[in-house]
Structure 1
C-alpha cells in the first residue's frame, strides 16, 4: 500500500496547496470508466470523509462505440451505486452533432460533454467539476497545439483550475495534473481497481493517438530520454511568462499610448483578455484578425466584433457599415480641404514643438506622430469609444453625446477621425483624445479645422 498511500498524499497535498476543492464542497466527478477517471474517483472518495466533501458521478455516453459505449455506462452506474454516490448520466449522438455543425467529432464530443457536465452540476447545486487529466495529457496537448499552431496560451497547457466552457460560473478542477499515466496505472494495479478499456485510444487516425503512440516514443528514444520533465518544466516557464505578459499588457493599456504603437505581443494580450471577458474563444486566427484590422470580424454563432482602437465592440453584422461613406486622408505640409456630408475639414502638418505651436480659436492641434500618415474620416457609429483628454478610461461616444445633450437626430451627422488602425482621436464637438495631445516630445503637429456648409 506504500504507492497507494503516496498517491493519496500527493493528490491531497496538491488539492490543499492550490485550493482546488475547499472543505465541505460538493464535487461532480467526471467518470468515463477508463483507468484515469476511475483512479480519480477512488482517490477523491478516500479523501472525502476527512474533508467533508460530498461527491457525485457524471458519465456521458457519446454513442460512438455501439455496445461498448453502453457497457461503459452500465459499468459507471454500478460503480457509483457500490460507492453510494449519486450518478448523473447523459448521452448524445456525437457523430450527428459533428456532421450538423460541420466540425470534428472530437470537438463536437467535447462541447456536448461539457454542456452535460454543466447541466448536471447546476441540477445538483455544485460549482466544481473534477476531471482526470494528468501530466501525460499535458505533454500530448503541448505537441498537438504546437503542430496545429498556438500562442503562449495554448502552449502553457491546462491549468489546475479553469472555468467551464459551458458555464463560466462553474470551475473545472484537475487534481491529477501532477501525476503521470504510469503512476496512475500502477496505483490501479496495486489496488486491483477495475476499469474499462477504450479501443478508440489506439486508433491512430486521431492526432492525439498519433502523438501518443508514434511521435512521443521516437522523441523519447532517439532525442531526449528526459522529454517528459523537459516539457513539463517548459510549460511552467511559459505559464510564468504568460502571467508577466498579461500584467505588462494591462499596464500598457492604461497608458496614453495609441494601440497601433504598442508591441505586437501587447496588442495580442489586450485583445485576448477582452475576448475572455466577453466569454469568446480567443483563437489565434480571431486575435490576429482583430489586431491587424478594425474591420468587423465574424466569430462564434455568426456574431461580429470590430476593434476600435484597443477596445472590442460587438456589431450586428459584417455588412453593417459597408455602405457608410468614409474618406482616407493623407496630411501634408500644404493645407488640404476634404468634405463629407455637410461638413468640411481643413488640415495640414507642420514641424515644431509644443511650446511654439499657436492654436487658432477654430482649430485643434494633434501630435501627428501618434496618429500616423493616414487618417480615416467618417460619421459616428454605435459602439464607438474613445478616451477624452484628461480621462483615465475610454467612454462610449453615445454616453458622451448624452452628457453633452446632443440630440439623437444629430449624432449620425457628427464626424469622427481615426488612425489607420481605427483608434478615434477626434470627435466633432467633443474634446480631443488623450493619446494625441501635444507633449514636450511632440515634433510633428497636425492642424485641424472644421467648417460646416
Structure 2
C-alpha cells in the first residue's frame, strides 16, 4: 500500500517537501491510517504534520471520547493536535440544513481556521477508493448532466493551500490491513452501519454487490473521475469563452441577452454549459428545484425563430424568445424607465435626447443629401409644423411608396421581427396633424410630391441605448 500511495502522490504532485500538512482525523481507520502514513514519511519529506479533529456532538460521550483518543495518539506519536467540540445539532437547526451537510460545514470551517492559524500548505483527508465509488454512484442516480458526474477531486484549492486526498488510489480493505499490520488502534463510528443516511446505504448495500463483480472497481472509478474532470475543465473554459463572446449581461437589471442563431451554431456540449453559466450569473443561489427539465425547456425555446414565446423558471426568472433573440430577466427586478410612453416637440433647428440615450436632430438645409435609415429629408411644404416625436398609440397606421393603402404599425413591427418589449419605446416622428412621417429605422411615409416647396428639413437619428432595459438593440437601426 505504501508504494501505491507514494506513486499516486508523485503522479498528482500532491505534496512538496518542507510543507505544513493539516490532517483531518476522526479516529476511524481511514484518517488514522493517513496520519500514520504521513508520520512515516515526515522525516524524509521534511513535513510539519498537525492533526485536526472535530467532535460534532452527534453521538454524545462516544464522539467526545473519539476526540480525546485522537489527542492521546498524537501525544504518543509526537504530532501537534488541534481539536474542537462543535454543536452540530444547533447549527443544523439554525441554518435549516440536513445533519450531514451541517456536520460537513462546521468541520470544514474548523479545518479552514487551522489552515490559516498554521499557514498550512495542505489539508490531507482520508477519502479512499470506496468513497469514490459511493460518490460516483450517488451522483449517477441523482444527475442527468455529465458535468455533474465528476467524483471526489484528488486535490482542490482550500483556505491557505490545497485539499489533498492521497488514499483515493486504495480500498477500504487495504486501509484496514494497513492498520492491523501497524497495530493502529482505531475508533469505529456506530452510525456508519446505519442505512438512514444516503451514503451509508450505498456503502453497506450497493458497493459490496459491485465489488463482488469487479474487485478493481476503485481504480476504474478513480480513472473515470479524473478523465471526466479533465474533460469538464476544458469544456467549461471553452464555454466561458463562448459566453464572453455571445452573451450580453446587464448587471443593474439582472438580465442576459443572446442571439439564438449564433448560440445554436456552437457545439451542443458548449451550449449546455453556457446555459448553466448564464444561470449561475443570474441567480445568487441556483434553486434546488432547477432541473434538467428546465434545460430541455430552454433548448426547445431556442429552436423557435418566429413570434414571441416565454417560459417561467424558478424564483421569477423569465426566458423570452422574441424572433430569435433570447432574453433572461427577473420579473420582480426588471426596470423599464425607457419603456414608458413619451411625446416631445421637435424644434427646428434643435436636438432632442430621448429616453434610453438616443438623439434626434432637426435642421433646415440648402439641399437634399443622400438618405439612409438614420436620416430623413423632406420639404416643409409637405408637412404641418411643428414636428413631434413620440411612441406608438392605438390605431397608428402609415403608408409609404409602393404600398396600396396604409398598414398598422403593429403589423410593421411583426414583419420586421421587432420584439414586443421593443415596440412601446420605438420613436415615431409625426407632424402637427398626427401624420406619421417616419417610423425611425423602419419606414418613411409617402409625402405629396406636389407640395415639394419651401425649406428643406433634415432629420438625423443617432443610436443610444434605444432598447428597453432588456438590452436588445433594434435590429434595423
Q: TM-score range by the shorter chain?
A: 0.5 to 0.7
Cα deviation for residue 82 of structure 1 reads: 1.4
Answer yes or no: is the 8 Å Cα contact 1:38–1:195 preserved in 2. Answer: yes
Structure 1 residues 3-54: Cα deviation after superposition (integer angstroms, max 9, x where no partner): xxxx222222322332222121111110010000001111111112111111
1:239–1:69: structure 2 CA closer, same or farther, 3 Å change rule? same
Answer yes or no: is the 8 Å Cα contact 1:271–1:310 preserved in 2. Answer: no
Structure 1 residues 369-412: Cα deviation after superposition (integer angstroms, max 9, x where no partner): xx9874634999xxxxxxxxxxxxxxxxxxxxxxxxxxxxxxxx
Structure 1 residues 291-318: Cα deviation after superposition (integer angstroms, max 9, x where no partner): 95999976xxxxx9999999999xxx98
Write out aligned runs for 1:351-370 (5 A): 359-362=372-375
Cα deviation for residue 110 of structure 1 reads: 0.7
Looking at structure 2, the residues matched to 34 and 186 of structure 1 have their Cα atoms a distance apart, in angstroms, of 13
Work out which of the residue numbers 150, 164, 167 in structure 2 matches 1:176. Answer: 167
Residue 447 of structure 1 corresponds to: 476
Answer yes or no: is the 8 Å Cα contact 1:297–1:318 preserved in 2. Answer: no
Matched, 1:376 2:421: yes
Write out aligned runs for 1:55-204 (5 A): 55-149=49-143, 151-164=145-158, 167=159, 169-204=160-195
Matched, 1:416 2:463: no
Cα deviation for residue 81 of structure 1 reads: 1.3
Q: Specify the SS of the correspondent of 2:167.
A: coil
Looking at structure 2, the residues matched to 85 and 305 of structure 1 have their Cα atoms a distance apart, in angstroms, of 53
Looking at structure 2, the residues matched to 280 and 188 of structure 1 have their Cα atoms a distance apart, in angstroms, of 45
Looking at structure 2, the residues matched to 378 and 23 of structure 1 have their Cα atoms a distance apart, in angstroms, of 66
Answer yes or no: is the 8 Å Cα contact 2:52–2:82 preserved in 1. Answer: yes
Looking at structure 2, the residues matched to 182 and 215 of structure 1 have their Cα atoms a distance apart, in angstroms, of 16
Residue 351 of structure 1 corresponds to: none
Cα deviation for residue 197 of structure 1 reads: 0.4
Write out aligned runs for 1:371-410 (5 A): 374=419, 376-377=421-422
Answer yes or no: is the 8 Å Cα contact 2:133–2:221 preserved in 1. Answer: yes
Write out aligned runs for 1:423-434 (5 A): 424-426=471-473
Looking at structure 2, the residues matched to 10 and 226 of structure 1 have their Cα atoms a distance apart, in angstroms, of 14
Answer yes or no: is the 8 Å Cα contact 1:271–1:287 preserved in 2. Answer: no
Residue 251 of structure 2 corresponds to: none
Q: Specify the SS of the correspondent of 1:29.
A: strand
Answer yes or no: is the 8 Å Cα contact 1:296–1:318 preserved in 2. Answer: no
Cα deviation for residue 181 of structure 1 reads: 0.9
Cα deviation for residue 324 of structure 1 reads: 4.1
Looking at structure 1, the residues matched to 123 and 74 of structure 2 have their Cα atoms a distance apart, in angstroms, of 16
Looking at structure 1, the residues matched to 333 and 175 of structure 2 have their Cα atoms a distance apart, in angstroms, of 54
Q: Which moved more, 1:145-154 or 1:40-49?
A: 145-154
Work out which of the residue numbers 216, 233, 240 in structure 2 matches 1:243. Answer: 233
Looking at structure 2, the residues matched to 10 and 279 of structure 1 have their Cα atoms a distance apart, in angstroms, of 43
Answer yes or no: is the 8 Å Cα contact 1:48–1:54 preserved in 2. Answer: yes
Cα deviation for residue 100 of structure 1 reads: 2.0
Residue 319 of structure 1 corresponds to: 332
1:185–1:138: structure 2 CA closer, same or farther, 3 Å change rule? same
1:227–1:9: structure 2 CA closer, same or farther, 3 Å change rule? closer
Which has the greater radius of gyration? 2
Question: Structure 2: which 5+ residue stretches go unaligned?
Answer: 248-257, 299-309, 344-353, 357-370, 377-412, 426-463
CA RMSD of aligned residues (A): 4.2
Cα deviation for residue 152 of structure 1 reads: 2.8
1:269–1:361: structure 2 CA closer, same or farther, 3 Å change rule? same
If the length of structure 1 is used for normalisation, what is the TM-score? Answer: 0.64
Looking at structure 1, the residues matched to 168 and 33 of structure 2 have their Cα atoms a distance apart, in angstroms, of 13
Answer yes or no: is the 8 Å Cα contact 1:130–1:172 preserved in 2. Answer: yes
Answer yes or no: is the 8 Å Cα contact 2:150–2:228 preserved in 1. Answer: yes
Answer yes or no: is the 8 Å Cα contact 2:21–2:48 preserved in 1. Answer: yes
Answer yes or no: is the 8 Å Cα contact 1:326–1:378 preserved in 2. Answer: no
Residue 269 of structure 1 corresponds to: 273
Q: Specify the SS of the correspondent of 2:476.
A: strand
Q: Which moved more, 1:106-115 or 1:288-297?
A: 288-297
If the length of structure 2 is used for normalisation, what is the TM-score? Answer: 0.61
Answer yes or no: is the 8 Å Cα contact 2:169–2:218 preserved in 1. Answer: no
Matched, 1:253 2:243: yes
Write out aligned runs for 1:299-318 (5 A): none
Q: Specify the SS of the correspondent of 2:22.
A: strand
Looking at structure 2, the residues matched to 119 and 306 of structure 1 have their Cα atoms a distance apart, in angstroms, of 41
Looking at structure 1, the residues matched to 424 and 19 of structure 2 have their Cα atoms a distance apart, in angstroms, of 54
Cα deviation for residue 151 of structure 1 reads: 2.8
Work out which of the residue numbers 201, 219, 227 in structure 2 matches 1:210. Answer: 201
Cα deviation for residue 204 of structure 1 reads: 0.5
